[in-house]
Amino acid sequence: MTSALTTAPGFTGSLLDRVDAARHDAALVAAMRVDAQALLLCLDELRPSVGADGGLGWTALDTVANDVPLALLGRLDDRPRFVALTPGVSALRRSPELFAAITTLSPAEAGTYATARSLVDWHARHGFCPNCGHATDLFRAGWGRICPSCGAEHFPRVDPVVIMLAQHGEGAHARVLVGRQPGFPAGRYSALAGFLEPGESVEAAVARELHEEAGIRVHSVRYLASQPWPFPSQLMIACVALTDDDALVVDHSELEEAKWVTRDEVAAALAGDPAAPFLPPPAYAIAHTLFTRWLAEG
Ligand SMILES: [Zn+2]
């Protein structure tokens, strides 16, 4: 049986070898591109194509025209893996079909998909230099863009987000704070979350977000786990913080409602008990990992 502490967070554990050295060797990338073993990730717009085995779909690289820009994802099972960089895809919205497909992937396969999705999206939105406005060119096998006018180099960005449980009380009496946003499915509650701002540590961002959204002061912030979240390119940093005062002042511009739930209530929610006071986030979301690991700590 897999324990809660060894269950991988969603989108983590990809088996891709990212072959960073190849990104700096144009001749090697060119050889990989004509390698008969090379494969192209199958994407339907930005949705993954999931095979009967529950894995990602791949096709022979020679099915794609020579002038289609590609990013080198890396090597997997000793075969070069690429993704096509399709202009204009970043405007596509997330759909129930997308998340249904992700639910069928293992965390490791979802991690490979996350790498590709975030790269494709970043290229689609960074065709012009933020330094001088000139059109940019792809370089480093798709892991950057360079400006031919001012020489500036640009690299795919990752935006850090803190997601956290505030805990009040200890042991069997411990409760954690959950909240729901207006757009959540009926009954769903999750951990509170927010983007880090320039100049903040993870600990400071956790404390600020919990104070802004729920009016509580926390201390003893500790890190539990992280996951990439490719919509478009966040790093979710999951933490637990302690508070000595459970009085809430909810910011209703951010949250529809927030409430304290006990260990038994979190356990019931994760077990799918219809009597549970909330529906948990899906298994591929780090909030699910956060609840699971917090419970396992006892
Ligand atoms: Zn420039």
Query: Which domains does the chain carry?
Result: 20-125 (no CATH), 159-297 (3.90.79.10)
* pLDDT-derived band at 1, boundaries 50, 70, 90: very low
Q: How far is the CA of 228 from the centre of ligand 1 (A)?
A: 29
Q: Taking 90 as the threshold, does the pLDDT of residue 287 lie above it?
A: yes
Note the pLDDT of residue 172. 86
Q: Taking 90 as the threshold, does the pLDDT of residue 207 lie above it?
A: yes
In whole angstroms, give the CA distance from residue 81 to residue 65: 16
Q: Taking 80 as the threshold, does the pLDDT of residue 215 lie above it?
A: yes
Half-sphere exposure of 298 (CA within 13 A, CB side): 1
Q: How far is the CA of 24 from the centre of ligand 1 (A)?
A: 21
Q: Which of 179, 183, 289 lies closest to 236, judged by CA?
A: 289
> Exposure of 22 by Cβ count < 10 A (0-12 exposed, 13-18 middle, 19+ buried)?
buried
Q: How far is the CA of 254 from the centre of ligand 1 (A)?
A: 37
Note the pLDDT of residue 2. 46
Q: Which residues contact 105 (CB under 8 A, 6 or more apart)?
A: 48, 50, 54, 55, 56, 113
Q: How far is the CA of 32 from the centre of ligand 1 (A)?
A: 30
> Exposure of 87 by Cβ count < 10 A (0-12 exposed, 13-18 middle, 19+ buried)?
exposed
Note the pLDDT of residue 7. 75
Note the pLDDT of residue 66. 85
Q: Which residues pair with 40 in a beta bridge?
A: 59, 82
Q: How far is the CA of 138 from the centre of ligand 1 (A)?
A: 13
- For the chain, give the percent of residues with pLDDT over 70: 96
Give me the mean pLDDT over the 217-238 stretch.
97
Residue 290: count other Cβ atoms within 10 Å of its Cβ: 24
Give me the mean pLDDT over the 135-143 stretch.
97
Q: Taking 80 as the threshold, does the pLDDT of residue 250 lie above it?
A: yes
CB 193 within 8 A of CB 163: yes
Q: How far is the CA of 153 from the centre of ligand 1 (A)?
A: 8
Give me the mean pLDDT over the 25-41 stretch.
96
Q: Both tokens of residue 97?
A: 């079909």
In whole angstroms, give the CA distance from residue 291 to residue 263: 9
Q: Which of 75, 80, 83, 79 lies closest to 122, judged by CA?
A: 83
Q: Which residues contact 184 (CB under 8 A, 6 or more apart)?
A: 190, 256
Q: How far is the CA of 31 from the centre of ligand 1 (A)?
A: 30
CB 62 within 8 A of CB 116: no
Q: How far is the CA of 21 from the centre of ligand 1 (A)?
A: 25
Residues in the chain: 298
Q: What's the mean pLDDT when you consider all of the chain?
A: 93
Give me the mean pLDDT over the 114-127 stretch.
94
Backbone phi, psi, residue 219, to 5°: -145, 180
